[in-house]
Amino acid sequence: MTLTWIRLFPLMILFAHPSATQTTAASPAPSGDSICLSEILIRTPQPYDAAQVATAQHKADTAREAIGHGEKFGDVAKKVSDGPSVAYGGALGRFKRGQLAKEIEDKVFAMKVGEVSEVLRTKQGFTILQVTECGGILPRSSGVEILSDTKGVDFGPYLRQVRQKIQPRWYHQIPESALTKKGEVIIEFSIMKDGGVANMRFVETSGDVSLDRAAWGGVSEASPFPPLPSEFAGPQLTLTLSFHYNFDKNELE
């Protein structure tokens, strides 16, 4: 079975929030079509409460100041971040051009390795991003394969929406006790015309209930997905999705 390798990532629509832009000791800007990022996320509640938003903003500004004064990004992330990758010092992994919102892509691809963004206002809260050297170990969903006939429809844009819904829900399902475990889970499921999920099953389990449950929950809690493209004449789109925990880059390749 040949898998098309793609990286799951949470959808983040960023809006600049006034704060002084500072950098750490930085290497040359990343070259090529991919970049690796770390994140500090300070969540804000919904519906928004002005007092809680102000508290979150102050917390984010304080975190950014600490980094500017020499604290390591990863250490600050582990202390204060509400993001799903907090146990990994905020490391989100690798993103290719076209996988990020345009405003994010323009910003981070212009930054150097080691550089830290200003505080950014997001739909989730306040975010600080750092461009990092690519490498390291993260849980990641690595491959998706379309099993059904696509009827000539390009499902690339649609699958990006599917990935954007699954990743944060999957990360939040991983218990702290499982963060260092290694395993692979492959799940098959069908997305119906209205976006509902059917025929969900394990193709391969990791042998660890906590890892299997997190991957399953990531898909089931993301349902329903957006309706299938109107130009698609088929009754459903059937996929397999592979979830990898703590495999390094060489092992994945």
Q: What is the CATH number of the domain that holds 187?
A: 3.30.1150
Task: Specify the pLDDT at position 191.
Answer: 96
Instruction: Please indicate, yes or no, if residue 28 is contained in any of the structural domains.
Output: yes
* The pLDDT of residue 125: 87
pLDDT value for 140: 52
Look at residue 59 in the predicted model and tell me its pLDDT: 96
What is the model's pLDDT at position 11?
A: 29
- Do you know the residue count of the chain? 253
Short-list 69, 43, 39, 71, CA closest to 55: 43
Looking at the fold, whether 144 and 235 belong to one and the same domain comes out as: yes
- In order of 147, 163, 250, the CA distances from 185 in angstroms are 17, 16, 18
pLDDT of residue 32: 62
Q: How many whole angstroms separate alpha carbon 56 and alpha carbon 45?
A: 9
122 and 143 fall within a common domain? no
Map the chain to HEC letters.
CCCEECCCCCCCCCEECCCCCCECCCCCCCCCCEEEEEEEEEECCCCCCHHHHHHHHHHHHHHHHHHHCCCCHHHHHHHHCCCCCHHHCCEEEEEECCCCCHHHHHHHCCCCCCEECCCEECCCEEEEEEEECCCCCEEEEEEEEECCCCCCCCCHHHHHHHHHHHHHHHHHHCCHHHCCCCEEEEEEEEEECCCCEEEEEEEECCCCHHHHHHHHHHHHHHCCCCCCCCCCCCCEEEEEEEEEEEECHHHHC
What residues form DSSP beta bridges with 39? 129
pLDDT at 75: 92
For residue 73, give the CATH number of its domain. 3.10.50.40
**What's residue 239's pLDDT?**
92
The number of distinct structural domains making up the chain is 2
In order of 141, 166, 219, the CA distances from 237 in angstroms are 19, 16, 14
The whole domain housing 101 covers 8-132
What are the mean pLDDT values of the chain's consecutive 10-residue runs (253 residues total)?
A: 34 29 43 80 84 94 95 92 77 76 84 92 88 62 79 89 83 74 89 95 90 91 93 93 70 48
- Among 78, 111, 132, give the residue marking a domain's end: 132
In a domain, 1, yes or no: no
